[in-house]
Amino acid sequence: MYIKSIHLENVRSFPELQFDFERPGGRFAGWTVFVGGNSSGKSTILRSAALALIGPEAGGRLAGSPTGWIQKGQTKASVVLKVKWDREYDGFKQAGKNPGDSFEAGVRWFLEKKTDEIPEFKGVDKRNANDTRIKSAERGPWSPNSFGWFSAGYGPMRRLTGSSSEAMRYSSSKELESRYVTLFREDAALSESEEWLRRMHARTLESSSSEIGRMLEGVKELLGDGLLPHGMKISRITVDHVFVEDAKEVELPMRDISDGCRSIYATILDLIHGLCEVYGANKLFERTSEGKLVVACPGVVIIDEIEAHLHPSWQRDIPEWLKVHFPKIQFLVSTHSPLIAQAADENGLFILPLQSDEDQVARPATDAEYERIRWGTAHKTILGVAFGLKTTRTRWATQKLKRWQELNAKHHEGIRLAASEKREFVQLQKQMELAFDGAPVDAL
Amino acid sequence: MRTLPSRKPLGEKLLSKLAAETAAITGSADAKTEAATRYGRARKAKWFEPVVKTLCELAGPGRRCMFCSGSESSDVEHYRPKAVHPELAMEWENYLWSCTPCNRGKSNRFPPETEDGGLLINPLDENVWDFFFIDDYGLLTPRFDSEAGVPDERAVSTRDLLSLNREAVHESRLMRLRNLRQQVTDTFGLLKQRKLSKGEARERLETWKLEPWQPDVASYFLSGPGKDRSPFKEFLAAI
C-alpha cells in the first residue's frame, strides 16, 4: 500500500493541511521529504500519518494520552489518508466488498463536551450512499490479522540497546504498533531485530529448511552492498552475536560499532524484519536484471530526522541506497539536512514554515524550486527557500564582516583611521581574503 | 540597491481608481482589514495590471528586487506596510518592487514607527548611493556619516533589516563584480591593442548595463560613484 494523500484538520498547529504524494506517472515509491524549522510540525505530520495507518486501537496504545492533538480552541481534529492498495500484496480480512483503487483511513480526536479535558480517539466513520459503514481500513491495514499492508515508522532515536522495559514491551509485541515504537517513544530501542537475526540463525541449526538460510544470506548480501563505509559488512551470525567486519578484517559485535553505523543497521534490519514478518521470507528478495539483490515489497516507511548520527557523506548517500535497495517502498522522511532533502523524488518535497511565519503556509515546493534543489549544492539549498538561512557563517564571522564594513566605510570616505583602527583594518583586509576566497585583484 | 529611474506618474484614470479604493478604506470602520481585502482583490484584478507593469518597467531588465537586486521572483511591496498604514495600501507613491526574502525581512516593521532604529531607505525615491557603496568584495556597505562619526544610521538599519548582504545575494553580487571587472579589463586590453573600436567597446558597455544579473553592480560601477574605481575609471575614460 501507499499513502496517496494526507488531510489534517485542527491537528496541533495545522488548521488545515492537504498534501498529495502521487508522483508523475502515478508512482508513489521513492523519497518524499518534509523540511522546516524546529516545531514547524514535521513530526506531527509523520505521527498523524502513522496513527491513521494503524488505526485507533493500535494507535491509541502507541500514542498514549490523546490530549494535545486538538488545536487550541477547537473541539475536534482529524487526519484522513487516502490509501492506495495493491491486489498482489495486500489482503482484506473477512468477507465484504473490496474497495476500488484506493480508500480512506482516518482517525479523529473529539471532546464530547467543551469542558472535557481528555478527548476521545476514534476512527473516522466512512459511509456509502446507503449509509452503510465502509470498513476498508478496519478489514485491511488496521487489522492485525489481514495480509500485507506493510508500514513502519522510526523516530530520531534509533538504537540497538538501552531501552526501558515498557518501551521494550511494545517493540517485541506482534501488534501493529510494534513497528512504530521509536517514532512515538524516545526510550525505545530496536534491539528486537538483532535478536531476530540470531534466532533465525539458531533455527537454521535445528531445521533442514533452506528457506531461512537463504534469507539470512540475503540479509548479509544486502547490508554488505555499499551500505556502510570502509567495506563494512555482516561477517558472522552466531547464537550470541551478530558480528560486523570492516575492510581491515577487524570484527566487532554489532552492538559495539559506532552510533551512526548502529543506527543505520538497526533501522534497516528492523525494516527487513518487519517486511519478512508481513510478506514472508520467500517473497522478500528479488534480483534485478543487473544482478543486484533488492527488497521488492511495497509499503510505507516513515523516518523522523533520518540524518541523526550520520556524517554528511552518508546523509548524501543513504537516500539513494534505500531507494535502490527498497525500490517499492514509499519513504516519508523529515530532515534538517539539505543533503537528505536534495534526494527528494518528484513531487516529494514539502516545506513547512516556522510557526512565527504567520503569513506562510505548509506547501509543496514548486517545480522550479524542486529542480533548483535537486540540481543544487548543499550550500545553495541551505540558503534557499527550503531552509532559508541568511548566512552559514558563525555570528563571530558575521560580526567581523560588519566591523570590516565599518572601517572600510570610514576609509572610503577619506577619513583618517586612528593607529589602532588602521592595524585592525589591515589585518581584517587580509582575513577578508579568507572569507571571500581570494583578494579582489587576485581573483581576476 | 541600485539607481532606478524616477517614479513616473500613473494615468489619471488609474490614479482616480486608486483614490476611490483609498477612500473606501479610510471610510471603513476597520481600515486595516479593509485595506488587506481591497489590496488582495486589486492584486488579482485586471485594472491593477498597469500598476504592476509600471513597477516592472522601473525595476528594469530581469525585474530584480529594488532592495537586493537578487534573482528571487518579486512582487509589489508597500514601502510603508499596509498593516500599519492602511490609508497607503492603495497609494502609488507607496509602491515598490521587492523579492520574498526582502519582503519577509521587512514584514510589517517600519522603523522607527513600529520599533527603534532608523528609517528604511526607499530605493525608488531616494539616491541610494548617498547611503551605500559596494566594496571590492561586493558587500553593499553603509557609508560613513562623518558628522555623526558613525556609519549612516538609516543605511545600517536598511542593510540589517533586509539582510542585503545575505549569503545568497552577496555571493551572486561578488561573482557579478568579479565577472564585470574581468570583462572590463579584457575589453580595455583589446581596445589598447586596437583589436576593438571605441564604438564596439561602447556597445559592450551598454549590454553590461542592461544585464539582469545583480544589476546593482553595473549601476554602481558603470553609472554610479564606482566609476572612479579601477579598472572602470580607466576604461570609461578611454571610450
pLDDT digits 0-9 by tens, B4-61: 999 988 999 999 999 999 999 999 999 999 999 999 999 999 999 999 999 999 999 9
Q: Measure in Å the smallest separation between the Cα of A40 and chain B Cα atoms.
A: 17
> What local confidence, expressed as pLDDT, does residue A241 receive?
87
Q: Catalogue the E-assigned strands of A191-298.
A: 233-237, 242-245, 251-253, 285-287, 293-295
> In the beta sheet, which residues pair with residue B78?
B95
Closest-CA residue to A50 (of A58, B185, A215, B68): A58
Contact: B166, A383; criterion CB under 8 Å: yes
Q: Is B3 on the interface with A (CB under 8 A)?
A: no
Name the one residue in this structure whose C-alpha cell is 572612479: B228
Residue in A391, A405, A410 closest to B139 by CB: A405
Residues A380-393: pLDDT tens digits?
999 988 998 999 99
Contact: A412, B104; criterion CB under 8 Å: no
Q: Is B67 on the interface with A (CB under 8 A)?
A: no
Contact: B142, A409; criterion CB under 8 Å: yes
Q: Cα–chain-centroid distance for residue A55? A: 20
Which residues from chain A sit within 8 angstroms of residue B146, using beta carbons? 413, 415
> What local confidence, expressed as pLDDT, does residue A442 receive?
42
Residue in B139, B141, B167 closest to A390 by CB: B167
A274 close to A152: Cβ distance less than 8 angstroms: yes
Look at strands A285-287 and A293-295 and give their pairing: antiparallel
Residues A312-344: pLDDT tens digits?
999 999 999 999 999 999 999 999 999 999 999
**Given CA atoms A440, B135, B162, B208 in this order, what sign does their dihedral have?**
negative
Q: How far apart are the first and last CA of chain B?
A: 27
> What local confidence, expressed as pLDDT, does residue A16 receive?
94
Residue in B135, B146, B178 closest to A443 by CB: B178
Closest-CA residue to A322 (of A336, A306, A337): A306
In the predicted model, what is the mean pLDDT of chain A?
88
Q: Catalogue the E-assigned strands of chain B.
A: 74-78, 95-99, 132-134, 140-142, 144-145, 150-151
Q: Which helix (H) or strand (E) holds B55?
A: helix B49-59
Contact: B151, A412; criterion CB under 8 Å: no
Residue in A389, A393, A440 closest to B136 by CB: A440
Q: How far apart are the first and last CA of chain A?
A: 57
Q: Measure in Å the smallest separation between the Cα of A374 and chain B Cα atoms.
A: 17
Contact: A409, B133; criterion CB under 8 Å: yes
DSSP label at residue B63: G
Distance (Å, rounded) from C-alpha A439 to C-alpha B136?
A: 9
Centre a 10 Å sphere on the Cβ of residue A322 and count the other Cβ atoms it contains. 25
* Residue that wins the pLDDT comparison between A355 and B104: B104
Which residues from chain B sit within 8 angstroms of residue A357, using beta carbons? 104
Give residue B233's pLDDT band: very low, low, confident or very high (50, 70, 90): very high
Residue in B138, B144, B178 closest to A415 by CB: B144
Per-residue pLDDT of chain A (444 residues; tens, 9 = 90+): 999 999 999 999 899 999 999 999 999 999 999 999 888 899 999 999 999 999 999 999 888 888 889 998 899 999 999 999 999 999 998 777 888 899 999 999 999 887 788 899 999 988 777 777 788 999 999 998 889 999 999 988 766 666 655 555 555 556 788 888 889 887 766 777 788 888 889 988 887 778 888 999 999 999 989 888 778 888 889 988 889 988 788 898 888 888 888 888 888 998 999 999 899 888 899 999 999 999 999 999 999 999 988 889 999 999 999 999 999 999 999 999 999 999 999 999 999 987 666 667 899 999 999 999 999 999 999 998 899 899 999 999 999 999 999 999 999 999 999 999 999 999 998 898 889 887 665 443
Q: Measure in Å the smallest separation between the Cα of B221 and chain A Cα atoms.
A: 15
Residues B165-196: pLDDT tens digits?
999 999 999 999 999 999 999 999 999 999 99
Which residues from chain A sit within 8 angstroms of residue B137, using beta carbons? 432, 435-436, 440
**In A, what residues contact B, Cβ < 8 A?**
357, 380, 383-384, 388-393, 401, 404-406, 408-410, 412-413, 415, 432, 435-436, 440, 443-444
Q: Measure in Å the smallest separation between the Cα of B43 and chain A Cα atoms.
A: 17
Name the one residue in this structure whose C-alpha cell is 476521545: A120
Q: Which helix (H) or strand (E) holds A261?
A: helix A259-279
**What is the pTM for the complete model shown?**
0.87
Q: Is B186 on the interface with A (CB under 8 A)?
A: no
> What local confidence, expressed as pLDDT, does residue A444 receive?
38
* Residue that wins the pLDDT comparison between A209 and B68: B68
Residue B163 has pLDDT above 70, yes or no: yes
- Chain B residue nearest residue A434, CA to CA: B137
Distance (Å, rounded) from C-alpha B147 to C-alpha B238?
A: 36
Contact: A401, B181; criterion CB under 8 Å: no
Closest-CA residue to A411 (of A435, A431, A429, A396): A429
Q: Which helix (H) or strand (E) holds A210?
A: helix A210-223
Least confident among A177-191, A334-348, B204-218, B222-236: A177-191
A46 close to A183: Cβ distance less than 8 angstroms: yes
Identify residue A415 by its one-letter amino acid code: I
Residue B113 has pLDDT above 70, yes or no: no
ipTM confidence score: 0.88
> What local confidence, expressed as pLDDT, does residue B115 receive?
58
Distance (Å, rounded) from C-alpha A408 to C-alpha B142?
A: 10
- Chain B residue nearest residue A382, CA to CA: B168
Q: Measure in Å the smallest separation between the Cα of B101 and chain A Cα atoms.
A: 9
Contact: A409, B165; criterion CB under 8 Å: no
Residue B148: half-sphere exposure toward Cβ, Cα within 13 Å: 8
Mean pLDDT of B199-227: 96
CB pairs under 8 A between A and B: 57
What φ, ψ does residue B238 adopt, rounded to 5°? -75, -25
Residue in B139, B144, B167 closest to A383 by CB: B167
